[in-house]
Amino acid sequence: MLLYDTLIGPFAEFEFMRRALAGTVALALGGAPVGVFLMLRRMSLVGDAMAHAILPGVAVGFLLFGLDLVAMTLGGLVAGFAVAIFAGVLARVTALKEDASLAAFYLVSLALGVTIVSVRGTNIDLLHVLFGNILALDDDALMVIAINSTITLALLALIYRPLVAECVDPLFLRTVSRSGGLAHLTFLALVVVSLVSGFQALGTLLAVGLMILPAGIARFWSRDISGMIVIATLAAIASGYAGLVLSFASKVPSGPAIILSAAVLYVISVLFGSVDGVLRRRLMRGHLEA
């Protein structure tokens, strides 16, 4: 009975918990595959920078319309796309590399977004924008997350082959096809869409966590890209469920609880993972030395 009350009872009894779990599953389905490609393309920190880049757009939507989901979502999309385009253009017309230009935009975006929210809102509003509130998801928020995740999965399926080819051998892709540039731009758009989906639930600061940490977990359990995507998605769902249970049973905020649950899985994977896990490498080294 205690096990039921802890693991199942909150979702059976409270609708807001079921909504939060549904939102987490939708975010995992759309965000985890994107996170895998971010990791394989060595763009994990780019994802973090883009998460902060959407903040000014979200803040402008909040400034004009308050906590209106549609306005904040559209503002985040516009800001994310604008930063991605400007950073790419700046990297091509100057000696500055794309990661450095993104870092500059990220710092400016974070400061500008916090300033805009602070002008009209309270500290509670600022915390809502920065850290989200997955326990307060309504029908509109769930619909936005579900639509964005569906679009993300559909477009990923279309550009899957060039994305994989670019991860494995980008020079070969440029030799045999011109689809690499379009696939790269489409992928950056999907990163923005995934982050905008996550900000309502986890905030602009933590949304990237449910993309990158599950991808890192998958890296220690599979060498195959499709296997990584499946494992990352399952890890994201498990982290969301565990975080919600932890949040319900304690005073830990739901967003940080989800990310901390993913961090625990990440540490376990680093230690015990079947692909380059610390203990497995030591066992293999000891076997070779013997």
Q: What is the CATH number of the domain that holds 228?
A: 1.10.3470.10
Please tell me which residue, 174 or 161, carries the higher pLDDT value.
161
For residue 17, name the pLDDT band (cuts at 50, 70, 90): very high
Tell me if 8 is assigned to some domain.
no
CA 272 to chain centre: 24
Domain that holds residue 84: 16-289
Judged against a pLDDT cut of 80, whether residue 171 lies above it is answered with no
One-letter identity of residue 109: S
In a domain, 48, yes or no: yes
Token couple for 282: 């030591």
pLDDT at residue 173 is higher than 60: yes
Give the per-residue pLDDT at 23.
93
Query: How far apart are the C-alpha atoms of 280 and 272, rounded to whole Å?
Result: 7
For residue 1, tell me if it sits in a domain.
Answer: no
Higher-pLDDT residue of 241 and 118 is 241
Q: How far apart are CA 208 and CA 45, in angstroms?
A: 10
Whether 10 maps to a domain, the answer reads no
Q: Give CA–CA dist 249/10, Å, rounded.
A: 9
> Per-residue confidence at 96, pLDDT binned at 50, 70, 90?
low
Q: Is residue 2 part of a domain?
A: no
Q: How far apart are CA 177 and CA 262, in angstroms?
A: 37
Q: What is the pLDDT of residue 289?
A: 56
Answer yes or no: is pLDDT of 154 > 80.
yes
User: Is there a domain that residue 3 lies in?
Assistant: no
Count CB atoms within 10 A of the CB of residue 137. Answer: 23
Assess if residue 193 is contained within a domain: yes
pLDDT of residue 290: 52
Number of structural domains the chain divides into:
1
Q: Could you tell me if residue 5 is inside a domain?
A: no
